[in-house]
């Protein structure tokens, strides 16, 4: 058994390393700086692309997300892990997803981008990672107290295929580009790799993430909860992959990236709200059982509750921009801090009330 | 013998419940019913880190019964 697990760990390290390199290359191929892959940012940009928010600089349909779903779906079917299920407090998951997005958009990135930003010289990534760790630690207090969102039951294949079908629809939209879509003319939304490249990279990432169970919040949670470094080894390798690839591509030598807190791409350096935004992201993801990448993979494996969480992410992104919650490179949005506090209160109430009493 | 049923629970609840069962009942054999391959892997990894021997049986409906034996038993 031990040698078996060694193999599993080797795979996640290898997978993390390749995904890190791929994320860096995606920026070289056209994606925004320090944003080769960012699950929160990409859902947010898709939300803008279909006009659910009107922030003109972040509107496009990012095919990487569709790729994650197709890659994971293929993997799940190939390895007999497609398992339609649902009914574990979907409405609470919806709001946890929405608040995750709000927290992430106050920092300007999900826990994946926090690592990418740090490996690209942006030291605000440290503040963000500290936030994720503290958020996960708070979540663990609830978990140890008996928190859970209830059991999911088996459902038919039909609801389990809705998210993959939505992704197929989005892919058709980006291929045919009907004129009701919104595409940024400038800003991060106007920077993208070719569609096929993004799609294939996403599919590869989805496949790897499904097989290895990679999770950018679960990693920190497992270290603190059970001293298990399996998931962490994957994200540590991911970080190394990005860092090495940035140096190999000469991104630091050319001045494209630099080390520091200031003047970083798609970033602000308000430490308090970078930190608290990511405390909210780390806490919501811990209460959900995984980061948005993991939720996306679970939704592709037939978990309809994770599918509802994705819809929550999208609605959260719409609110974040429509209600001036999202940050910009100038700093936090007018109502961002208030929304983070509301989110933290929501999580605390949910975490407390959903504790199972010991028999 | 202690038996816990964590079928239907998402990550990391199966691990949390197994950990609690181990802490509450040291030196006892524990049976864990899980539904998914992920839970099977996670629960097995936790038990092995605590030096338990792990035996996995596949049951009807692609579910798993995991038998955890404490060290030395």
Total number of domains constituting chain A: 1
Chain B, nearest residue to A291 by Cα:
B11
C-alpha to C-alpha distance for A60 and A254, rounded to whole angstroms: 28
Question: What ipTM does the predicted assembly reach?
Answer: 0.95
pLDDT, average across residues B17-22: 96
Instruction: Report pLDDT for A4.
Output: 57
Ordered by start, the domain boundaries in chain B are: 2-69
Catalytic residue check, B42: no
Q: Does B41 touch chain A (CB under 8 A)?
A: yes
Interface size between A and B, measured as CB pairs under 8 A: 59
Whether residue B43 contacts residue B56, with contact meaning beta carbons closer than 8 Å, is answered with no
A84-106 pLDDT tens trace? 999 999 999 999 999 999 999 99
Instruction: Report pLDDT for A6.
Output: 62
Among chain A, residues having any CB pair with chain B shorter than 8 Å are 1-2, 5, 8, 80-81, 83, 85, 88, 143-144, 148-149, 151-153, 213, 218, 221-222, 225-228, 230, 289-290, 298, 303, 305
Taking an 8 Å cut-off on Cβ atoms, the answer to whether B8 and A222 are in contact is no
A140-167 pLDDT tens trace? 999 999 999 999 999 999 999 999 999 9
pLDDT, average across residues A14-23: 98
User: Helices A218-226 and A124-144 sit at what angle, rounded to 10 degrees?
Assistant: 50
A51-89 pLDDT tens trace? 999 999 999 999 999 999 999 999 999 999 999 999 999
Instruction: Report pLDDT for A1.
Output: 46
3.30.110.40, 3.40.50.180, 3.40.605.10, 3.60.10.10: CATH of B2-69: 3.30.110.40
Chain A residue numbers with beta carbons less than 8 Å from the beta carbon of B35 are 83
Q: Active site residue: B11, B13, B16, B38, which one?
A: B11
* Chain B closest-CA separation from residue A185 CA (Å): 41
Provide the token pair at B2: 């202690």
* Chain B closest-CA separation from residue A112 CA (Å): 19
**What residues make up the domain containing A77?**
2-358
Provide the token pair at B59: 């049951």
* Chain B closest-CA separation from residue A137 CA (Å): 14
Chain B residue numbers with beta carbons less than 8 Å from the beta carbon of A5 are 45, 48
Q: Residue A308 to residues A85, A89, A94: CA-CA distances in angstroms? A: 12, 10, 6
CA angle A203, A169, A65 (to 5 degrees): 30
């Amino acid at each position: 058994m031990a040698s078996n697990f060694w193999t599993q760990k080797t795979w996640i390290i290898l997978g993390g390393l390749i995904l890190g390199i791929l994320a860096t290359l995606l920026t070289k191929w056209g994606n925004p700086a320090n944003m080769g892959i960012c699950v929160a940012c990409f859902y947010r940009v898709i939300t803008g692309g279909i006009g659910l928010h009107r922030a003109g600089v972040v509107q496009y349909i990012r095919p990487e997300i569709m790729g994650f779903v197709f890659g994971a779906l293929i993997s799940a079917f190939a390895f007999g892990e497609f398992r339609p299920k649902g009914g574990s407090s979907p409405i609470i998951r919806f709001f946890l997803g929405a608040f995750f997005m709000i927290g992430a958009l106050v920092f300007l990135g999900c826990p994946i981008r926090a690592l990418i930003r740090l490996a690209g010289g942006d030291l605000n990534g440290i503040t963000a990672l500290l936030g994720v760790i503290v958020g996960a630690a708070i979540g663990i207090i609830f978990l140890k107290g008996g928190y859970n969102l209830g059991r999911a039951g088996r459902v038919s294949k039909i609801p389990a295929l809705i998210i993959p079908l939505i992704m197929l629809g989005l892919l058709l939209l980006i291929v045919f580009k009907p004129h009701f879509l919104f595409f940024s003319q400038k800003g991060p939304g106007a920077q993208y790799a070719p569609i096929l490249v993004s799609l294939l990279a996403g599919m590869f990432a989805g496949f790897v993430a499904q097989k290895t169970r990679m999770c950018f919040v679960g990693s920190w949670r497992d270290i603190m909860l059970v001293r298990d470094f399996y998931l962490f080894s994957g994200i540590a390798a991911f970080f190394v992959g990005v860092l090495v690839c940035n140096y190999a591509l000469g991104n630091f030598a050319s001045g494209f990236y630099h080390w520091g807190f200031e003047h970083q791409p798609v970033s602000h350096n308000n430490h308090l709200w970078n930190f608290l935004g990511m405390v909210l992201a780390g806490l919501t993801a811990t209460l959900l059982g995984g980061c948005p990448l993991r939720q996306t993979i679970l939704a592709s494996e037939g978990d309809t509750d994770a599918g509802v969480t994705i819809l929550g992410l999208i609605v959260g992104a719409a609110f974040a921009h429509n209600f001036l919650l999202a940050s910009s490179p100038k700093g936090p949005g007018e109502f961002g801090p208030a929304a983070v506090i509301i989110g933290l209160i929501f999580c605390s109430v949910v975490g407390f009330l959903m504790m199972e009493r010991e028999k | 013998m202690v038996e816990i049923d964590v079928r239907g629970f998402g990550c990391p609840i199966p691990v949390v419940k197994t950990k609690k069962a181990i802490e509450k009942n040291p030196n006892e054999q524990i049976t864990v019913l899980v539904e998914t391959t992920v839970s099977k892997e996670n629960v097995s990894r936790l038990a092995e880190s605590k030096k338990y021997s792990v035996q996995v049986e596949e049951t009807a409906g692609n579910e798993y019964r995991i038998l955890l034996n404490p060290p030395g038993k």
